[in-house]
Chain A
Amino acid sequence: MNIVYHARVIKAVAVRDFKIRITYIPWIMNSLLQPIAWTLILVYAYRSIMGPGSSEALAAHGWAGDPVGFLILGQVLLSLFNALNWRAGMAIQRERWYGTLELILQAPASRIAVLAGSSLFGLVDAGWASFLSALAVIALTGATFNVADPLAAVASILLAAVGALSMGIGLAGLYVLTRSAGPIAVAIQHPTRFFTGSSFPLTILPAVLQYVGYAIPLTYGLEAVRRTMLQGAGLGDVGPLLYRLLLLSIASTMLGVAMVRWAEGVARRNGWLHTF
């Protein structure tokens, strides 16, 4: 077992996912159009409830000005998470649907490499769709950004993506434990939208609900990206956010991998692999 072997497994899984993905044209269109529609819904909802210009209430939560940029960034990162929820999180579940899970687990390849391959593809696949849909919304509604420190912005985006990825892997550990992974993957998108503050400033929520939000890696990523891209914040300003994001991401990834391994062992002992 060497590094070249693991790399080849990661590449093979990512290429396989890509080849399967391109046969589902409606789902590709979906991943592009859904974020556009959702962002537009929120943009028009904001404009309808706030009236012309910004609301004082929004400014009181630290986000003065037109909320379009705020909403676009929220939706981009949420879409990234949603895609990784389905790619990395559901990687094992999907093998069960294809009927290939036993064959994958029968191969000597590392399970982490298999998961990493699906995650890698998920990141690329979700990345371009989120980016293009953000551009489309900007073209339709217009948005103003204020980037003072490009390095901080790039670092925030990259780490936010890592956070989303770690959540996907963490959820993979949860999904292998249940046969209802599909509906749970649908259900999880809504609390994530709510608690991460992707559609509104998190400080609106009562303190107890904010705690829930700050247990989610994506929340820190979202805040760091918004601060660096809308308020011109630098690395020094968002450093503590990124630090916490990284810690939570590592914890989530480790938990996910450990759960997948544990679940495989339990499934092998109890004969659940075919229903795993």
Chain B
Amino acid sequence: MYTIEAEGLEKEYRIGLLSKRRVKALRGVSLRIQKGTLYSLLGPNGAGKTTLVKILATLLIPDAGWARVAGFDVAREAVEVRKRVGVVLGGERALYWRLTGWSNLWFFSQLYGIPPAEARRRIRELIELVGLQGWEHVRVENYSKGMKQRLHIARGLLNDPEVLLLDEPTIGLDPAAAREVRGLIRRIVAEGRTVLLTTHYMAEAEELSDRVGIISGGRIIAEGSPGEVKKIIGGRMVLVSLTGPPGEASRLAALLGARARSIDRVTTIEAVVEDEEEFIDKVLGEALRRGLRVRRVEVREPSLEEAFIKLTGGPR
């Protein structure tokens, strides 16, 4: 059973004076997300991630196509969808900084029509869930970025939503705070909720997701479990570390169409290739000819990040 379904979604923005410039944000996006799973939507800036989240959250009406969330149409049954969805938009804003965390949650609980006694109980639970005990009566302007983000998530869960839409919830957080938020997301999914997460952080998506969708240029170009997406690009990741005359290893990488990274005097040539043995032979032969010494050779599965870069046409 799908909690989120979308078919052929299209959205175009008109910007600039007299709306002359048109930007196609979505070009026929179709999506199915099963109940109780976490789906990560990955994509470069401007790929259409936020537009898709806003359509599913009823904040935008698509130009074409349809979407249903928790069984209701986002355009025609917006109020029913709103009752069942929690939205967490990234960044530090979208909170009343001059109010305490408790007052923020109380205010939104009333906008969702939660009866006062239940709202108090729910807020207490959520404050505990997101680990803000002791801070709930402090003004939000005194919170750290991580605390604000956790408060955002608590707010998103106020109406006990079937579906939680998380738009880059760990953006700008330090590693410890990001880890806390990821732990929180895991607990939310374990409660049986359906979560749609957009993120730039591949490791985060790989760690949390049941399924991953890669969106680029307004289209979903790859979809599946993290393992399946990595397999879509095919081949293996080969890393060869070299030392020797300065610049020589980088020139070799360029010759082979691979990526080179240098740390201290060691340059590592990286590439996702179909035939790893042939590639390694080529590197070793050329290295010998150019006076380079081989320090290490590693062959492994490509990571989600490497798959993402290859699929979205980023630098190799």
Q: Is A103 an interface residue (CB 8 A)?
A: yes
Residues in A whose Cβ lies below 8 Å from that of B14: 270
Per DSSP, are chain B's interface residues mostly helix, strand or loop, or mixed?
Answer: mixed
B111-A271 in contact (CB<8A): no
Residues in B whose Cβ lies below 8 Å from that of A8: 110, 113, 116
Kindly specify which of A15-23, A159-167, A170-178, A244-252 makes contact with the partner chain. Answer: A15-23
Residues in B whose Cβ lies below 8 Å from that of A5: 113
Q: Which residue of A has the minimal Cβ distance to B81?
A: A108
Complex: how many Å from CA A273 to CA B14?
A: 14
Complex: how many Å from CA A173 to CA B84?
A: 29
Nearest-neighbour CB distance to chain A for B102, whole angstroms, equals 11
Q: Is B96 an interface residue (CB 8 A)?
A: yes
Contact with B along A1-21 (1 / 0, CB 8 A): 100010011011101100110
Q: A102-B59, A270-B13 are in contact. Are A107 and B96 (CB under 8 A)?
A: no
A107-B11 in contact (CB<8A): no
Residues in A whose Cβ lies below 8 Å from that of B99: 16, 19-20
Per DSSP, are chain A's interface residues mostly helix, strand or loop, or mixed?
Answer: helix
Q: Is B89 an interface residue (CB 8 A)?
A: yes
Nearest-neighbour CB distance to chain A for B78, whole angstroms, equals 8
A23 touches which of B60, B98, B116 (Cβ 8 Å) = B98
Q: A interface, how many residues as a size bin?
A: 20 to 34
Complex: how many Å from CA A121 to CA B5?
A: 41
Q: Which residue of B has the minimal Cβ distance to A114?
A: B111
Complex: how many Å from CA A186 to CA B139?
A: 29
Complex: how many Å from CA A185 to CA B103?
A: 28
A103-B89 in contact (CB<8A): yes
Number of interface residues of B (CB under 8 A): 36
Q: Is A190 an interface residue (CB 8 A)?
A: no
Complex: how many Å from CA A268 to CA B54?
A: 9
Contact with A along B178-199 (1 / 0, CB 8 A): 0000000000000000000000
Q: Is B83 an interface residue (CB 8 A)?
A: yes
Residues in A whose Cβ lies below 8 Å from that of B61: 268-269
Residues in B whose Cβ lies below 8 Å from that of A273: 54, 59-60
Q: Which residue of B has the minimal Cβ distance to A97?
A: B93
Contact with A along B85-102 (1 / 0, CB 8 A): 101010101111111000
B111-A104 in contact (CB<8A): yes
Residues in A whose Cβ lies below 8 Å from that of B68: none
30 contacts between A and B (CB under 8 A): A9-B111, A9-B113, A11-B110, A12-B106, A12-B107, A12-B111, A13-B107, A20-B99, A23-B139, A98-B95, A98-B97, A99-B91, A99-B93, A100-B96, A102-B87, A103-B87, A104-B111, A105-B59, A106-B85, A107-B82, A107-B108, A107-B112, A109-B111, A268-B58, A268-B60, A269-B61, A270-B14, A271-B11, A271-B25, A271-B60
- Known contacts A15-B107, A271-B11; 5 additional CB pairs below 8 A are A98-B93, A99-B94, A99-B95, A109-B111, A109-B113
What 4 pairs across the A-B complex have the smallest Cβ distances? Answer: A99-B93, A12-B110, A107-B111, A109-B111
